[in-house]
């Protein structure tokens, strides 16, 4: 079957697919945004049009994700990676941050914190194939914050339950699973995610931050690195990444019109169960990397018997327009990234391919 516009079955680990409907809307509005006489990219970020877009995106994100009113939503630049630095810069004055190393992104977050002050951060636990259980005993006394990577994009593991430790504020890098399921915001002090995997395109990073924690941020920083300055300036300290926020808003409208987070979470479960089902029923032909109890619904990682067979699996898939399924270079094997906007149909296509490949190569 040939997809619309010759689009492929794209399982990219990020940037990832955008719903066709959203791409169509972008195309329709590109030359003249809502009778403004120009595209959204060509007008002031302080225009009523762009303010409308930004305010609507904040409102929709709050409604759809059920973000309580005592949390603020910031749209920043610099990727998730800048948050690796902003978090220690804004909060080390309060106390120590413990990091859980569950993969390369988690380790990068720790490495950046170390550059700010290596005495104020440490790795409390680490594990590749499974999410460790973190208790008070895992932490050094006086630890004030715990940083986790809620979904480990490269290893294919994901927290099923979040650690809850008295007097320790949880901070989560949700870049690869934000909005994919309902969460209880009261469990978190800060959640951050760049948009290009589950929320739209690169260029904007969403930071959801508890209001009282925002008030306690370091107010002595250069403005671009300060949560307080960004908040006080409506996130328009520098010219906003207007197009990225515009696409984020369209994605949220799309979700609002397509069953909201309840339906999205259901779809994500169906997609992941479909693919893990094939792995589990393959008699070891497909070997999952992650322990079952820690499996990610977003990144399905596995390997076949040999590197040659992995390569053949990838090459023959490409002949069927199934692309971007090779594992991360640090991990090898196969990785199917099935973020929020990958359709059930796309997962059915790769499932069908996996079954046929197994039949002819076992
Ligand atoms: C992709 C990814 C990042 C990097 O995001 P950038 O926006 O490129 O900085 C960070 N953390 C996780 C968990 C990721 O999946």
CB 335 within 8 A of CB 325: yes
User: Has 197 been annotated as catalytic?
Assistant: yes
CB 239 within 8 A of CB 311: no
Over residues 155-171, the pLDDT tens digits come to 999 999 999 999 999 99
User: Has 173 been annotated as catalytic?
Assistant: yes
Q: Strand, helix or coil at 166?
A: coil
The proportion of the chain whose per-residue pLDDT surpasses 90, expressed as a percent, equals 98
Over residues 185-210, the pLDDT tens digits come to 999 999 999 999 999 999 999 999 99
User: Whats the size of the chain, residue-wise?
Assistant: 362
- Ligand 1 center from residue 352 Cα (angstroms): 30
Q: Which of 128, 181, 197, 271 is labelled catalytic?
A: 197
Using the predicted structure, report yes or no on whether residue 330 has a pLDDT greater than 90: no
State the pLDDT confidence band at 318, using cuts at 50, 70 and 90. very high
Predicted local distance difference test score (pLDDT) of residue 331: 84
| Tokens 């059915």 -> residue | 348
Predicted local distance difference test score (pLDDT) of residue 1: 62
- Ligand 1 center from residue 178 Cα (angstroms): 12
Rounding to the nearest 10 degrees, give the CA dihedral for residues 278, 279, 284, 289.
Answer: 170
């Amino acid at each position: 079957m040939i997809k619309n516009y010759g689009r492929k079955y794209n399982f990219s680990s990020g940037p990832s697919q955008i719903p066709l409907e959203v791409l169509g809307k972008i195309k329709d509005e590109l030359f003249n945004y809502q009778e403004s006489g120009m595209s959204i990219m060509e007008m002031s970020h302080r225009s009523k049009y762009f303010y409308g877009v930004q305010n609507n995106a904040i409102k929709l994100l709050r409604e759809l994700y059920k973000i309580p009113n005592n949390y603020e939503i910031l749209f920043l630049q610099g990727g998730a990676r800048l948050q690796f630095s902003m978090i220690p810069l804004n909060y080390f004055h309060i106390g120590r941050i413990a990091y859980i190393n569950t993969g390369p992104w988690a380790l990068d977050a720790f490495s950046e914190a170390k550059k700010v002050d290596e005495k104020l951060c440490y790795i409390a636990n680490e594990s590749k194939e499974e999410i460790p259980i973190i208790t008070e005993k895992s932490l050094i006394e006086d630890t004030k914050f715990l940083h986790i990577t809620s979904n480990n994009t490269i290893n294919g593991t994901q927290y099923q339950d979040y650690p809850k430790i008295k007097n320790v504020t949880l901070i989560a890098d949700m870049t690869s699973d934000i909005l994919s399921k309902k969460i209880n915001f009261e469990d978190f002090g800060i959640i951050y995610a760049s948009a290009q995997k589950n929320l739209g395109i690169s260029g904007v990073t969403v930071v959801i931050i508890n209001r009282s924690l925002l008030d306690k941020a370091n107010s002595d920083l250069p403005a671009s690195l300060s949560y307080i300055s960004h908040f006080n300036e409506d996130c328009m300290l520098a010219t906003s990444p207007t197009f990225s926020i515009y696409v984020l808003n369209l994605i949220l409208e799309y979700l609002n019109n397509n069953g909201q987070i309840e339906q999205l979470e259901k779809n994500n479960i169906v997609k992941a169960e479909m693919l893990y089902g094939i792995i589990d029923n393959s008699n070891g032909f497909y070997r999952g990397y992650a322990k079952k109890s820690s499996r990610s619904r977003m990144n399905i990682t596995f390997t076949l018997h040999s590197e040659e067979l992995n390569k053949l699996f990838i090459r023959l898939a490409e002949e069927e327009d199934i692309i971007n399924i090779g594992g991360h270079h640090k991990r090898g094997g196969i990785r199917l990234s099935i973020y929020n906007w990958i359709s059930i149909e796309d997962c059915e296509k790769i499932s069908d391919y996996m079954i046929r490949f197994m039949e002819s190569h076992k």
